[in-house]
Every structure is written in C-alpha cells, then in structure tokens.
Structure 1
C-alpha cells in the first residue's frame, strides 16, 4: 500500500490496483483506476486536462484533495466526495462486501481486459437524471437499470446529474450498464482496461456548465435551423420533393429544411444521388435556396457489397473488422437485387475511413450545394447487435463501440470545417458524450405514433438536455404508423406539433399508413402539415406561426447553450433548485429561463395541472393572469393551445397574451 502526491492530485496503490485522483477543471476531479498503472491511451470524452487550483494533502494512509467546491477524501481504501463549504457527502465508494471484492472489481476477460464494476453508496431521496435518451418513460431514473449500449431510440451517454449536487461522467465508451438501486449505484463495463470517471460539484446549472467545459461546447447554432423542418419516409424523386416545397411556399407556410430520405442513392454506400430519380440535384438546391429552404440529405454509414466503394474500403481496412466471420454487420435492401444483402459499416474511429467517406460525400453531395446531413442508423445499427465480435481502429467493440456515433458526426464536422463552412449541424439517431462539440443534433429515433410515446419523449428529451446535448428533436407524430383519417391520430399530431414547436429543433417526420415493406421503390403515406384535415391544419399552422415568432428567443437560448453549456430545454429544477416540488415535475420544462411549457400528452385531455416554480411570478400566456410561484394550478388546455407561462418581467414576442389574442 502506498500514497504519493502528483501534480494536482494523488496516486494510491493497493496491491496491483492503482487509483489516481486529479483535479480536472473547476470544482471537478478525474478518477482512474487500473491494474499496475493507469493509461492515457484509452478512448474517452474528456479533452485536454484543464488547469485547476487544487490543494492536495497526502499522509501515510489518507489523502485529501480540495478543488473549489469539491473535496475528495481517501481513507480506509475508499474515496469520498464532499461539498467543501458544508462538508455534506455528495457520493462515496462502498464495498460490495466487507471482505471481498471491495468497491472496485476487475474480473479478467483475458489479454489485459476485464469486466469492471465500480460501486457507490445509495442515498434515500436521491434523484438521478441524464444517461442519454431512453424510452422507459422516466425522468428520475433512480431504481432503474440502464444498459450502456447504442440502439435505435436508446442512446447511451453515461453522464448522471444528481439532486445531491454532483454530476458524474463514466468516461468510457464500453458496453455495459449502470444499476441505480436502493442498495447501491454500480457502473459496469463488460470489457475494458481501467475505471475512468469524472465528477463535478455544484447546482444543476453549474454541473452542466462544467460538463460542457470538460467534454466540449456545441458550436454556434445556424439561424436557419431554428425554423420548421419537413420530412417523411420518403420523397422518391426530385420533382416530388420540389412540389412539396412549392406547396409550402404557395400556402405562405414557413419552411426552413426539407429532407431527402434513404434509397435516393445508386447503391447504399456510394453516397450519391441516383440520376434516374434526382437528375439535377444542384438545380434543386438552387430552387430551394431561392425559397429560403435548405436541403438535408440522409447519409448512412453502411456500405452494400454492390457499391463501387465496397472493394476499395475492404482492401484498405476501412470497415469495422470482425473477430469471426466476414465483415458484414447487418442486412438491408439495395437497388438491383431482390431481398436484402449483407452490408458493412465503415470504421468511424479510423481517421482514414472518416476522410474516405467525407471525400465521397463532398464530391457527390456537397459539390452540388448540399450542406445539411442526416446521419441515420449511426449507432451503428447492427443486426444482430454483437459488439463483442467487432474490432475497431480504437480497440475491441466491447470497449469502444458506444463512441461510434460521436466519431461519425466528427467526420462531417471536420469535413465541413475543412471546406470552409462555419454553419454546421448534423441530425443524428445516436450520440455519445461529447457529440455536441461536433455539431450533432439528436432525434429520438423510430418511436411509436401514440400518446404514450409522446409522454415518453418529453422525459427523454429532458434527460438528453441533462446529458450535454442541447440540440434535440423528435419525429412529430411519432415514426411508426399513423392513420391520417383517424380523429384520435389527428389529435395526437396537433398535440405533438404544439410540443414540437417548443423543442430545440422543430421537425416533422414519420412512416405513415399504409405501412409497406422497406424496399428501394417504396414510400410511406402523406405526412405534410395539410395531410390531417382542416381542423388539425388550423391548429398545426398556429403552432408553426408561434415557432416563427419565437425564433429570436430560440436563437438567443441557442447562443447561451453554445457559450455556457446550459441547454435551451431543461427541467424546472435547473433554474429553481431550491423548489423541492420542481424536482418531481417530469412533464413540464423551461425553454430558456423565461418560458414555461406544459405539453398535453393524453387523448381527450382539455385541462392539466401545471406547477409554477417558486421564486418568481408567472403570467398565463393565454389569459394574461399573473400567478405566484410555488403552487400547482389546474389550467385549461383546449385543443387549440398548449399551456404556456412567462416569467414576470420577461417579454417574449408571440407569447404574451395580448399578442396571441
């Protein structure tokens, strides 16, 4: 057993286990634990070590590190994290058993890899948020077991924000899970080489600012991206898509982005338009630009064996490798063949592979004027999901694969920057810690078209915001299904539009009825704003007009997010941590500091309870009535509006009652 001081921290050795604690930014520390030593060559989300003015004291059998608001104590072989000003315990390691294995367990997998478990104490009344995006319908995830693996609609970002006043990043892209139990909190990596986590102390807003400083800030948000995005599965030709854009123009409806979905390509992984369906994409881009509309194109990270790029990429080792079997990772339809073919995903952790993909994308899309990218299936969408059989440039799949979506977004960000672009945004189906610094927006994946799903997205989006991703959206109306003639579904679309207009990105997409098998010639049912009948259309257009009026406010909140890390859409407790009731509210949110949003997410609901946070007074945007904070009201919610409240003293164009009357 031995302790020694290092620069801004300390090392402790117990047998083969080495624990390193280092100050890592304001009020923050990084902890690494390895067998015989700690490593600097393991992928993670943290950038270069920032400066910190830490005080370190090392004794014979104990050590203390104080960094601003955070105090770390090592005693009896266990770490304890304490708030320096009050000496209140934030988090502490706890032995799994009094004798063995202690708080940190390495179970050898072979070749220097281990199944790793890190155990912490559980606390009564603690609330736990973040962890990316999940469809379990929970905001507070205390009591849940959450898998750390990337899947469609299940996004693993291993960052927790606690009501006790800390945030913790499990700084490894390894596949695993986190158990948020009543008897303990346990982080598990199925196969990794060391424990690595970062912990910061403070109120929720402080934690989020520190996290952005540690993992990267989102770039400046493009002004055009604050408008309405039109999408469906799928527009089959250049003329079909342009006809929809012209209809928006002729109706006088706002439109900022329209989307070319999958199967527009010659073959999957050739990353180019099929000239039979898209004969002059440059002309399409020019016409759309004249209407003030951007063209976004779906680009997948998978490559069909029919693609001209497949043999080249195979020869150069640019695909994810397989430990066993040929490098095919999923099956998918492609043009020129019946049924499905085995496709390969490029290795996004390989800089050479990223450069290769961007080169093809630039030649075949960017050089035609395309500047907006939809990065679908970027988990990657393995079928079957077997990361244990994969080997990447950065290491074995089990250790590093969760970072795939961040690396994929990086390919487009770096490519756009090299081309001289400064307005960069990609829409991603998955993300990992730090994705935000690559201009990555996230949407909630292929979700059901139900009221239950709408309610789940409200919680999912707030947890995404608490995971460091400020740019987020959903498929308005849900993805799977939706009968345009159903009164119940039309009501769902209206309520989802009202919610979507108050999300960071405002986007319509879906695979509407009649649902047909996926095939290169298929399309879904109509999914334009006029597809749901006159009554729904009137309410949808009202939501679109509201969003247009809000765009200056939206852009101001996006500026704050980029500069500080504070997300535009956030739970009430971020701004009002002293209001105990606010911590339990899971279906309302603040958009910026001044606008309170209470979505309606039940069929037939025409009133709902709204909690007004303490410490301010709030004006009902519909009635102009001023209410004291710290209370819960029953608020009318007819189909034509969503309950909104404005903080006293704030003026938000398009929201104040007299402007909406």
Structure 2
C-alpha cells in the first residue's frame, strides 16, 4: 500500500512501513520500522531542521510512486525502492533476488532473497540486513577512518563500531553521483561487495538513511554538510605547530621543554599535558604535587605564545572523589550483568555516560572548575570511544539505550559535552582533539586524530588514504601523531628518517602535531623525549625549517579552514574532488590537494630521493621549492631529497608563501 501522509510518501506492506521525505537540498530521508510510529531523532546525525516539502509526490497504479526533491527522485517501482537523478538514471536501488511481494507478473523463481531481512530479538529490537545493488563502475569514498590500505572502499567490509584508530562515520560518496548516510548509531557492518552492498544493524528497531544527488563530489559533500553540520572556525593558534609526547610527567619537565623551544625562537602554538596528570581516573584536576602552579604555568606559556591543552579521559575508578556521587545519579555507563566496569586500563574503572545530558553537564562543571578557571581552554578527549576491555559492547548500557543499539553516539556526545560547555562559558571558537567520531561530530569543534598507530612506514603510508576518506566523510579537521604513536627510537637512524618524512608531511595536514610514546633511553627518570632536537642535527634542521614554513603558510591554512566552515569542503581533498573530470585523479591514493591550490605528494618509503607525481590536466603546476613549472596531464618525476617532499601549486593561484 502506497499513500501520502503530510509531506511524506509512505509504503506499507504487512507490518513494515517505509517513510520517505525530502530532506535538505537534493536529498531524501528514508526510515523503515515495524513499530506503530517513528522513534524520533535522538539517535539521528541529521540536523532536525532538514525536513522540507517535496517538489512533487505521485502515486500511480501497480505499486509505483515517486517523491522528487531537486536533483533526486525516490521511486517505488513494483515495491522496490530506487533512487534516480534528474535525468532519470538509476543511482542506487535495493537488491532483490527472486519474486518481490505482490509481483505477479514475474515467473516463479526458486530462490527468494529479500532486500531487507529482520531477525527478531528481545524487547522489540531486531538484527537487520539491508541489501542494495552493486555496480561494476562504482567507486566508494568516505566511511570514516580505518587503518588499512584501501582508498576506494569498493570491495571492503567495514565494522561500524567506535574503536581506537577506527572512527566509523557511515557516509560515503559514490562516483555514480550520489552520497549515502547510514543514519543508525547501532553497531554493525558495511560490505561493499561485487555482487551487492550489504548494511547490517546488529540491534535496532528502525532503519534510517539519507541519500543525496549532485553533479560533482563538491556539490554532494556540501549538501551533506548542510544536513549534518559544519565545523566551526578553527582558532588561529591551532593552525600552528603542536608539541607533545607520552608524557610530560610534571610542570618542571613541560616548562623546560617550552622554554627551550622559546629560547631557540621556534614557534610552538600548542603544548599538551597527557594523561596521568591526575591523582585517580575520574579526579579531573592536575595533581598539585606534580603541577604546583597551573595558573602561573598557563600565564608563562601564553607569554611565550603557547596555548596549553590537557588530556581528559571519560574514565572513573572506584577510588575517585566523584565515583559515589556519579553512581548514585546514574551518570556512568551501566552493565547488563556483573560489575559495572570495563576500562582497558584497570578492573575497577568505568566511564561517564556521555549520552546522558545531565552527566555531560556534571562532567563539564568539574572541567570548568579544575581546568577552565585556571586558564586552560583546550581539551584532548582521549579514549573517546570509549576503549572497553571487552570489545563486543554487548554487556554495556547507555542512557540512550543498549550499546549494541547506539554505541556510535558516544564519541559525538562526548565532544558535545565540551563544545556546549565551552560555548556557554563564553568561548567563541572551541576545539577539542578527539580520538573517535561518528556522523555529525564535526559540528562540535572536533579535531579527529588517527589514534594510537604504530611508528612504522606501513602505518605512515596508511594515513594518506585514511585522511582523504575522513575528509570525504564530512570531517575537515584531522591529523595524526607525527612519527606514529607506538614505538620509535631516536637512536635508530631508520626511525629518524621516518619521523623526518612524517614531519614534512604533517606540515601539510590540517593540524601539525608531534606526539608519540617513544622507545629508548629515558632522561632524568622521564619518558623518552620527543622534541625536534633529539633526532639528530639533520632532522632538527629539517623539522625547524618546516615549523617556520608552517608559520608562513598560515594565511593559506586559514583560508582552507574558512572554506570548511562556510561550505563544508574538506581541508585534505582527494585529487578527484578538485579534478572530477580527470579519470586518473580517481586513482591517486598517495597524493592529495591541501585546499584548492596545493598538491602534496609525501615520501612514504625509506631511501627515496625522487618521486613520481601525477599533475592533473587543465592546469600548469609550479613546484613551490624551486619555482619550476610543469604542464598538467602528465606524470613527472620530481626531486625528493631528505630535506623536502614535492608540493606544487596551481599556476592559476597566487603564490602564497615562500618555501
């Protein structure tokens, strides 16, 4: 049965109802349920004001109907849901095998394979599999951050769950001219197979997705940003160089490092205090024995041009000053059975429930009193997944619902706690460095980083396609631990080469941040150092040069950030984003555009002294290092000495800075 209800087109068959409505420019939202009514938008990544009147809704005979919104039309064709562009061409369609319901004209088929299969669970929930057709010519980009070598997601199976190094952001751009958001925060899996695409929801009572059509990657990404939100403007200082390591153990160590950078006249814009600066997990304050004068520390850092950032974990141990109060109020994640603990770092540690609005307010009040009022305005939201010792999630329950049904909400709501708290406290440009994300997280001033990755060439190489896919997922603020997080010995020449190359590339990322848990000799009882001067004279010279280059790049970086804020354009852009008509631009995972005008080609293997770089057609290109000009539409071999990586600008763009 097909009918119109208010501004929606509705299909009902047996106990299943499909609601289709115009949502945003050139977009449609689809919700599917067996409940009496839709559940509302608490779990939705979409902004609530996206619903609109369709251009037209037509219902005809033979179980056919259409809803048109600009460049996209959602069609029920013999009860099969199909999405078409303004030319009538098929963009995406459900995958059915065998006879459809009420399809009497098709001869009997011995196999019946429905597009949607509901596997009932307790309390009205179901595990659901939903299949769409696959297309041989299709390329898939986006889906968040995964530590693999895949650029085009076609052929991939992706877990939809928040984990360290993994940010499930289930939006993708298709080379067929559409974008697709799986608007379900439940755990699940997405498989972009050769025979069909399958989405799996581990546990839910409703399916929700959004599809948009457009003529270019830019148009589709901007439409996605309009319905899920754009990043606020990044503060100026955050566009410079950030210094960090695991970990500055006390005020003396951190200030010694800060003063040495200042003495060398090397501009550090952010310096970070990592975890275990507290007395217990859940005591959100600086241990006064190790950090005796935080106000004075903040003031001195500011006098040197540096902002202080502190790591804040959502973890609470039973001995915390706040544990009993939070337990009584229901502010922590619960378990279905057994003790209410599940942190990777200890048996008696749990987490604040970020999906509880009152818990978010409680957390912010602690942060405000113990950090913000000391002058600390920047927060590193580590362990934001959160990181469970039991990675199945099945025993955990949030205020929003069972973890299996809504676990991907956690990192978004954790960022939201700090964004709203900072805004209410008068901060105009909040920024939080965050280890995980989901759809819509960008609107809360979230700077995603790629987590605790290895300090290896393999891990380094994986970051380049990963960063591009994060950008295609609607998150423009992204970075990595320069040098990798796990490992790296300053006494190893091979590692010194790796971190030098990583540092050069980090100069051309949205944020330039040095961090890591280094190996090797400790100094004065502290963890191994991670400052630029500890990796040898040559590396020191190269890194200092690139920090100063980053300073000269500031006007261009700021322009990129303004574009992200105003339009939703990513800062790191896949080559096809700027050159969609160049076929070769769709197959370049290891080079990219920084903003609209700079082509960046990092060196990703040891011992390299020259690099093949493809220059898109329709432009001439100028190497910013030596001013040499190259015609577009060709692959050129460029010098890549240890001192620099190839970076070229469009000739049509103004010279922005000197190398």
Structure 2, unmatched stretches of 5+, are 100-110
SS, match of residue 191 in structure 2: strand
Quote the residue 2:83 is aligned against.
81
Quote the residue 2:105 is aligned against.
none
Partner deviation per Cα, 1:444-488 (whole Å, 9 max, x = no partner) = 000010111111011111111111111110000000010102111
Quote the residue 1:147 is aligned against.
159
Contact 1:26 1:52 in 2 (8 A): no
SS, match of residue 387 in structure 1: coil
Quote the residue 1:65 is aligned against.
67
Contact 1:236 1:277 in 2 (8 A): yes
Partners in 2 of 1:432 and 1:377 — Cα distance?
A: 14
**Corresponding residue to 1:527 among 527, 530, 545:** 530
Contact 1:406 1:432 in 2 (8 A): yes
Please state how far the C-alpha of 1:566 moved relative to its aligned partner. 0.3
Partners in 2 of 1:208 and 1:278 — Cα distance?
A: 45
SS, match of residue 131 in structure 1: strand
Quote the residue 2:106 is aligned against.
none
Please state how far the C-alpha of 1:386 moved relative to its aligned partner. 3.1
Quote the residue 2:243 is aligned against.
230
Quote the residue 1:46 is aligned against.
46
Partner deviation per Cα, 1:412-445 (whole Å, 9 max, x = no partner) = 0011111111120000000110111111110000
Please state how far the C-alpha of 1:53 moved relative to its aligned partner. 4.8
Partners in 2 of 1:52 and 1:647 — Cα distance?
A: 42
Quote the residue 1:643 is aligned against.
646
Partner deviation per Cα, 1:234-256 (whole Å, 9 max, x = no partner) = 00111110111111110010100
Matches within 5 A, 1:178-257: 178-202=190-214, 203-257=216-270
- Structure 1 runs of 4+ with >6 Å offset: none
Partners in 2 of 1:127 and 1:342 — Cα distance?
A: 46
Quote the residue 2:30 is aligned against.
31
Partners in 2 of 1:242 and 1:536 — Cα distance?
A: 23
Matches within 5 A, 1:390-409: 390-409=396-415
Partner deviation per Cα, 1:285-307 (whole Å, 9 max, x = no partner) = 00001111000000000101110
Quote the residue 1:355 is aligned against.
361
Partners in 1 of 2:575 and 2:460 — Cα distance?
A: 19
Deviates more, 1:173-182 or 1:61-70: 61-70
Contact 1:550 1:652 in 2 (8 A): no
Q: TM-score, normalization: structure 1? A: 0.95
Partner deviation per Cα, 1:225-271 (whole Å, 9 max, x = no partner) = 00000000000111110111111110010100000001100111110
Pairing 1:274–2:287 present: yes
Partners in 2 of 1:331 and 1:194 — Cα distance?
A: 32
Pairing 1:374–2:387 present: no
Deviates more, 1:28-37 or 1:170-179: 28-37
Partners in 2 of 1:460 and 1:307 — Cα distance?
A: 37
Matches within 5 A, 1:367-516: 367-514=373-520
**Corresponding residue to 1:309 among 322, 326, 333:** 322
Contact 2:344 2:387 in 1 (8 A): no
Please state how far the C-alpha of 1:97 moved relative to its aligned partner. 5.1
Quote the residue 1:346 is aligned against.
352
Cα 1:58/1:522, change in 2 over 3 Å:
farther
Quote the residue 1:107 is aligned against.
119
Cα 1:19/1:549, change in 2 over 3 Å:
same
Partners in 1 of 2:60 and 2:527 — Cα distance?
A: 68
Pairing 1:122–2:140 present: no
Quote the residue 1:161 is aligned against.
173
Partners in 2 of 1:126 and 1:81 — Cα distance?
A: 15
**Corresponding residue to 2:296 among 283, 300, 323:** 283
Partners in 2 of 1:652 and 1:225 — Cα distance?
A: 23
Partners in 2 of 1:584 and 1:8 — Cα distance?
A: 41
Structure 1, unmatched stretches of 5+, are 333-339
Cα 1:108/1:341, change in 2 over 3 Å:
closer
Calculate the aligned-residue CA RMSD, in Å: 1.5
Contact 2:619 2:652 in 1 (8 A): no
Partners in 2 of 1:439 and 1:83 — Cα distance?
A: 33
Pairing 1:586–2:589 present: yes
SS, match of residue 284 in structure 1: helix
Contact 1:160 1:167 in 2 (8 A): yes
**Corresponding residue to 2:601 among 598, 603, 607:** 598
